[in-house]
Amino acid sequence: MKSLVLNAEWDPRSDYNITNDERESKKAMNASQVWRDPELRVTERERPIPDDDEVLVRVRYAGVCGSDTSMIATGENGYVHYSAYLRLPNVTGHEFAGRVVETGADARLFEEGDLVTAEVTDYCTRCNMCRQGFHGHCENFEQLGFTLPGAFAEYVAVPEKILWDVSSLREAYDDDDELLKAAATIEPSTIGYYGLFGRAEGIKPGDYHVYHGAGPIGLTGMNVSRAAGAGKVIAFEPSPERREIAHELGFEHVYDPITRDPIKTVNEVTDHQGADVHIETSGAVTQTYPVIQETLAERANVVHISNAGADPQMALRQLQSNSAQLYGSEGHTGQQVYPRVIRLMAAGRLDNLPIVTSTFSLSNADKAIHQAAERVDGKVLVKV
Ligand SMILES: [Zn+2]
Ligand SMILES: [Zn+2]
């Protein structure tokens, strides 16, 4: 089958304390310390055979994530920017939708023909974190498109426990092609949903939400905030293309943080009440946290989603005097996040299709990754 394979050279930095596990498995816990000189290639590979508890999915659409672009972006000495778990060579891609074509011997939740999407993290169910219900923080986790073969391919094998049926989206989309295109954007939406409702607490209809960064995670999150009844959704985004997408989605309070003073703007738009919810989706935390701490409504929730390299200066006193909470949020696993996002989409209250701005064929999947790295698109998809 055709697939997009990422490879790089395994060359742990001399000051990186590599574990025996990493050395034996060739899985780096921090890719940026180990993998250098990445290379993408569309190539032929064996079609995966599903394990007993897995389902084989024929992929129709797969989205390009910031993590995919950071795996090919390099810094000093050619080391990749991506700083989490990665085994290479691997088929990347983890935001996808498609049709079930085969089920493993013990898989019983799905049958051939079902339309599906999947969570990313394959958890073990037995470690201490899993036994506490925190499957997203499993101590033995693997991830589709990171350490397991992913979805920039004709077929992907997926453990059925992380697969979700999306056929209910037929209520909202005319044909299965549109439906699967929309379903490939469920994963980024679940990141915002999990931050707002899986981690933060006490968010109320009518709250003012401020997004710092309107890339794919910010844009899909803004859609979730609106569907959940935000009083106003405000966004700061330096890219004019991305601001335009936000406008097209119907958001009116979208600003360039370089030319408009964000603190003044939040104060004006919220009538000096401040933001009840701040969502950090830009990664430019040294610039955004000074704004966040000056524009906190009483009992504000700050949801930290982005993967930032640097650390901001934070006035703790400000959090304290506003009775504000800061929530770290990572991933989207479990807690019925997927089915709820799917329900919102089926009800027509959450539509990410306008966020999709470029679509590439699988033969050009490498170009899709490079296009997404330009940071001007809403969402770049690969159509298989
Ligand atoms: Zn992603
Ligand atoms: Zn586990």
Enter the CATH code of domain 189-328. Answer: 3.40.50.720
Q: 137 C-alpha vs ligand 2 centroid, how far in Å?
A: 7
Ligand nearest to the CA of 141: 2
Question: What is the distance in A from the centroid of ligand 1 to the CA of 182?
Answer: 15
Q: pLDDT value at position 334?
A: 83
Q: What is the pLDDT of residue 6?
A: 98
Question: What number is the average pLDDT over the span 37-45?
Answer: 97
Same topology between domain 2-185+352-383 and domain 189-328 = no
User: Would you place residue 252 in the very low, low, confident or very high pLDDT band (cuts 50, 70, 90)?
Assistant: very high
Which residues make up the environment of ion ligand 2, defined by Cβ < 5 Å? 123-124, 127, 130, 138
Whole-number pLDDT of residue 166: 98
The rounded Å distance from CA 135 to ligand 2 centre is 6
> pLDDT digit string (tens) for 8-26?
999 999 999 999 999 999 9
pLDDT at 309 over 80: no
pLDDT tier at 335, thresholds 50, 70, 90: confident
Quick one: pLDDT band at residue 310, thresholds 50, 70, 90? confident
Q: What are the residues whose beta carbons fall under 8 Å from the beta carbon of 198, sequence distance 6 or more? A: 329, 332, 335, 337
Contacts of 371 (CB under 8 A, 6+ apart): 64, 358, 360, 377, 380
Position 314 scores a pLDDT of: 87
- Ligand 1 centre distance from Cα of residue 296 (Å): 29
Task: Give 274's pLDDT tier (boundaries 50, 70, 90).
Answer: very high
With a cut of 90, say whether residue 88 has pLDDT above it.
yes
Tens-digit pLDDT profile for residues 138-157: 999 999 999 999 999 999 99
Looking from the CA of 2 toward its CB, the CA atoms found within 13 Å total 12
Helix or strand or coil: residue 310? Answer: coil
pLDDT tens for 197-206 read 999 998 999 9
- CB 33, CB 16: distance < 8 Å: yes
Residues 212-244 as b or e (16 or more Cβ within 10 Å = b)? bbbbbbbbbbbbbbbbbebebbbbbbbbeebbe
Ligand nearest to the CA of 151: 1
**Domain boundaries in the chain?**
2-185+352-383, 189-328
Ligand positioned closest to the Cα atom of 62: 1
Ligand nearest to the CA of 380: 1
- CA-nearest of 84, 2, 69 to 35 is 84
**CATH code given to domain 2-185+352-383:** 3.90.180.10
Q: How far is the CA of 134 from the centre of ligand 2 (A)?
A: 8
The neighbourhood of ligand 1, an ion, using CB within 5 A, equals 65
